[in-house]
């Protein structure tokens, strides 16, 4: 099982990704820089909270959904379509 997820930081910025282990991935995003292999964006802009996730049966399905959400390019659209529920 895979999950597409959205994280939000205290400034209201979003990070969108997918993973096969949601708890581990959130922990990695919030680890201090240098402790994990993740990029600079999440380390410099955290801490992050999980605000939305959606299960998918395969990595390919999760990747397609992640790309769809990222194509919206608007925090307003993400809030209206996913977080207002």
CATH class of 2-83: alpha beta
Give the closest residue to 68 by CA, choosing from 48, 47, 54. 54
Mean of pLDDT values over 17-40: 84
- Give the integer Cα–Cα distance in Å for 52 and 74: 16
Give the closest residue to 6 by CA, choosing from 20, 35, 26. 26
Where in the chain are the domains? 2-83
Residue 23 reports pLDDT greater than 70: yes
Mean of pLDDT values over 63-84: 93
Total-model pTM = 0.90
Measured CA angle at 1 (ends 55, 66), to 5 deg? 50
């Amino acid at each position: 099982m895979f999950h597409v997820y959205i994280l939000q930081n205290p400034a209201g910025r979003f990070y969108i990704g997918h993973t096969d282990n949601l708890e581990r991935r959130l922990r990695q995003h919030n680890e201090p820089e240098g402790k994990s292999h993740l990029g600079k964006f999440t380390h410099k802009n955290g801490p992050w909270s999980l605000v939305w996730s959606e299960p998918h049966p395969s990595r390919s399905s999760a990747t397609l959904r992640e790309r769809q959400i990222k194509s919206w390019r608007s925090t307003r659209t993400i809030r209206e379509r996913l977080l207002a529920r």
